[in-house]
Amino acid sequence: MSDYIAPLKDMLFVLRELAGLDAVAALPGHEEVSIELAGAILEEAGRFAGKVLSPLNPVGDRHGARWQEGDVVTAPGWREAYAQFVAGGWNALSCPVRHGGQGLPRTISALVEEMWNGANVSFALCPMLTRGAIEALELCGTEAQKALYLPRMVSGQWTGTMNLTEPQAGSDLAAVRTRALPRPDGSYRLHGQKIFITYGEHDLAENIVHLVLARTPDAPDGVKGLSLFVVPKFLLDADGRPGTRNDVRCASLEHKLGIHGSPTAVLTFGDREGAVGWMAGEKNRGLEYMFIMMNAARYSVGLEGVGLAERATQRAADYARTRIQGVEAGARSRDKVAIVRHPDVRRMLLQMKSRTEAMRALATVVAAAMDTAERHPDAGQRRQSQSFVDLMIPVVKGWCTENAVEVASLGVQVHGGMGFIEEAGAAQHLRDARIMPIYEGTTGIQANDLVGRKVALDGGQAMSRLIDRMRDTERLLAQGGDETLAALARRLHEGIAALSRATAFVVATQASDAPRVAAGAVPFLHLCGLVAGGWQMARAALAAHRHLREDAQDTRFYRAKLATARFYADHVLTGAPGLAETVVDGADGVLAIEDEAF
């Protein structure tokens, strides 16, 4: 199959009709932003994604990143591609201008990021982690640290990592044991082992800036004793250039189900004299900083889900359009047809397409809210936008990544027997997708964050405001005077009712009986995603309906938007009432069973 093709038209539709790029462009500091600028950037990025990154995706899968005596060699062509990526200024896209970035709104850079993920998620992980590290240093680094590290990290000359996990400390970071011993010169010596470190070692860049959670000798137990340290792979010389090798080594790489192109390292700190590091921010506040950085990373992993789902959908549609097999049901002709004509194949493709579009729309709307929260002149607007972002981040992360696995799995299914053969490429997407609901916090952890901190803590207010916005859309659908819009209104109504009911349960129960809520937290997260996605599909249908009424251009495109929204409503959103039942009633079985019964 041909390479990834950036869905420019769909993306511009989302920017224009759903995410409100005009409003983003009206924010202070984004005066240069316009739909034309967005189009030009997306087109250029799409070319890079399709021509450079996409062809390297199967190469990375087959070749993998290879460990050689502590060094890591990426797959053939990856070094050159990364150099091009840096030279093209892509790494700096959404980074702050004061450190050499281009300061593009998240609304646009999120779509560019989706492209990297669609073309080659293993590659995209490297700049994604670097951006996370940049944000953390921005937040808590000293001025000297910022000056030393940020310009080269923003350009992409150096990359960044997040070092949290240890063998005994996965989801539970309270169990982190890595030690940081203070030295008279103000630096620290770190000793410990970190695992699952994405791009913890590689040959793409001249230095790697590790951000490491560790404990000082006097730190309290648990999460309140973790501090954050900057530990470069190469210590910087007097001119700020990479000099002496630091005492951090890659002991091995993991043998993984997917994302083979991306090295997942076991890093050993301080096997010899201790890895030299400097504290970033205040002592014992490391987890707090990491969480801020992780929020951005969680959103980015959601974008991985969107990009991968788009790619799997493109591949499956391409196969379905060209694979000739069987005759058409109900047709007079006995001629063999492409399998895209078979209703169940269409159904699968529409599952893939409609979920991908719903995810993209939701993620971009959240990105626009990030921009609003950062720059809107009105404090109330900033606050409201931020509360929407906070509410939605676990949903974007959890729902988009779970969807990505299902979409990729459907992609295999569309291919029939060929889907199971690695050469066809569909299987790689499933293997690559499977990590997404796990890393940067499993879906269970996202769901606990959602019900606890995001819904119950404010008594359901942020969710109420969201539901009000959804009801506005429902009203517009009902007033549309159109049969399809009316059908969408009915399904959205049921979805909103289910979400309200489940939210009321969460708010009423969390304080008194948290395990009861936790037993249905993931179904609640799915419900939120399903309904929020349905809301966006409904908004897309309204926009398409308006265009079809008002002008005669792109009628095919807009008719497809209506049909896709209709499909989503009848095949995906129909799951909402059942999920609400599970959230409200489902704890008995979960809590009643004894551990020994498993």
Which residues form the catalytic set? Answer: 440
DSSP annotation string for 538-553: HHHHHHHHHHHHH--T
Rounded to 10 degrees, the C-alpha dihedral 525/531/537/543 comes to -130
Q: How far is the CB of 65 from a second copy (least distance, A)?
A: 15
Angle, helices 106-140/78-87, rounded to nearest 10 degrees = 90
Q: For residue 301, what are its two tokens?
A: 């992993």
**Nearer Cβ to a second copy, position 139 or 340?**
340
Q: How far is the CB of 534 from a second copy (least distance, A)?
A: 13
User: For strand 207-214 and strand 158-163, is the pairing parallel, antiparallel, or unpaired?
Assistant: parallel
Q: For residue 580, what are its two tokens?
A: 């609400």
Q: How far apart are CA 445 and CA 435, in angstroms?
A: 14
Q: How many C-beta neighbours within 10 Å does residue 352 have?
A: 27
Cβ-in-10-Å burial (0-12, 13-18, 19+) of 506 comes to: buried
Which residues are bridge partners to 280 per DSSP?
228
Q: How far apart are CA 227 and CA 334, in angstroms?
A: 70
Q: How far is the CB of 130 from a second copy (least distance, A)?
A: 21
Cβ-in-10-Å burial (0-12, 13-18, 19+) of 227 comes to: buried
Q: How far is the CB of 321 from a second copy (least distance, A)?
A: 7
Q: How far apart are CA 75 and CA 61, in angstroms?
A: 9
**Nearer Cβ to a second copy, position 177 or 336?**
336
Q: How far is the CB of 254 from a second copy (least distance, A)?
A: 5
**Nearer Cβ to a second copy, position 236 or 327?**
327
**Nearer Cβ to a second copy, position 373 or 414?**
414
**Nearer Cβ to a second copy, position 172 or 282?**
172
Q: How far is the CB of 172 from a second copy (least distance, A)?
A: 4
Residue 503: helix, strand or coil by DSSP?
Answer: helix
**Nearer Cβ to a second copy, position 349 or 369?**
349
In angstroms, the Cα distances linking 583 to 68, 132, 468, 505 are 49, 33, 21, 8
Length of the chain: 598
Q: How many C-beta neighbours within 10 Å does residue 47 have?
A: 12
